[in-house]
Amino acid sequence: MADEEEEIILSDLDDAELVEQMMDDLYDGLKDEITEGVNILLERGWAPYRILTEALVAGMTIVGKDFRDGILFVPEVLLAANAMKAGMSILKPLLAETGAPTIGRMVIGTVKGDIHDIGQNLVTMMMEGAGFEVKNIGINNPLENFIEAAGEFDADILGMSALLTTTMPYMKVVIDAMKEQGIRDDYIVLVGGAPLNEEFGRAIGADAYCRDAAVAVETAKEFMARRHNRVSA
């Protein structure tokens, strides 16, 4: 936004204008403005879950689509995700108090031998931005870390990331161990990383390959919707 533009006073906006402005601010990665907007809506009596879905998740959905379409790039998405995080830090304890619904729970990490984490950090932020609870177990994870974390966190989804062609086969090691332990079907397994493709995802027995964070969110939502439909059927 140009410096010569008149400064917008968030508290002067009505609810609809404020939500729209927050979506713009989220897109621009403006952390302080998001924090202020969240607090204003809370003061006006908005439920935390409503702020999450109508302002933050809606804003991150636009960010995700533009990232997928090549309009935004990783640095810009990280800024938006950090602004989202600032808003979430206020809402999270309030959401826990009110027992607000979450879409699902995910454990994500980079596989053994691989220390790259930008991609999976981005997925973590985008997934949280979409209303998922995420436990990020970091880099260089042996299969035990994935399986233990998924069980302890009561995860619906297990996400694995690799950036090296030498480490991507380890994803199959994890999935095979899950099969041996009889727990493979308990989880939706999503894999991602630069050297991977759909064919590889299928070959190792993953549920889906996700080429970027935006696709990961869309894919996770689709699988969770199917799972809920099966449960309620």
| Cα(138)–Cα(118) distance, integer angstroms | 10
The helix (H) or strand (E) run that includes residue 29 is none
pLDDT digits (tens, 9 = 90+) for 171-185: 999 999 999 999 999
Helices (H), 7-73: 15-27, 31-43, 48-51, 58-68
| Cα(22)–Cα(219) distance, integer angstroms | 26
Cβ within 8 Å of residue 81, ≥6 positions away: 60, 63, 122, 125, 126, 129
Q: What integer pLDDT is reported at residue 7 of this predicted model?
A: 85
Q: What is the CATH number of domain 105-232?
A: 3.40.50.280
pLDDT at 26 over 90: yes
Angle formed by the axes of helices 143-152 and 170-180, to 10°? 50
Mean pLDDT of the region 91-105: 84
pLDDT at 233 over 60: no
Q: Measured at the alpha carbon of residue 65, what is the angle toward residues 53 and 200, in degrees to the nearest 5?
A: 110
Mean pLDDT of the region 15-19: 97
Q: Which two tokens stand for residue 221?
A: 């939502």
206: helix, coil or strand?
coil
Q: What integer pLDDT is reported at residue 232 of this predicted model?
A: 59
Q: What integer pLDDT is reported at residue 18 of this predicted model?
A: 97
Of 58-62, 95-99, 104-108, 220-224, the one with minimum mean pLDDT is 95-99
Is the CB of residue 206 less than 8 Å from the CB of residue 197? no
Q: Where are the domains of the chain?
A: 10-98, 105-232
Highest mean pLDDT among 51-55, 81-85, 128-132, 153-157 belongs to: 153-157
Q: What integer pLDDT is reported at residue 228 of this predicted model?
A: 77
Q: What is the DSSP letter of 141?
A: B
Q: Given 3.20.19.10, 3.40.1260.10, 2.60.40.420, 1.10.1240.10, which CATH number is that of 10-98? A: 1.10.1240.10
pLDDT digits (tens, 9 = 90+) for 56-78: 988 988 998 898 899 999 899 88
pLDDT at 2 over 60: no
Of 16-20, 91-95, 134-138, 194-198, the one with minimum mean pLDDT is 91-95
pLDDT at 217 over 70: yes
Mean pLDDT of the region 126-155: 94
Q: What integer pLDDT is reported at residue 74 of this predicted model?
A: 85
CA nearest to 132, candidates 213, 44, 28, 36: 213
Q: What integer pLDDT is reported at residue 5 of this predicted model?
A: 57
Kindly report the pTM of this predicted structure. 0.77
Mean pLDDT of the region 85-109: 88
Band the pLDDT of 4: cuts 50, 70, 90. Answer: very low
Q: How far apart are the first and last CA of the chain?
A: 49
| Cα(86)–Cα(89) distance, integer angstroms | 5
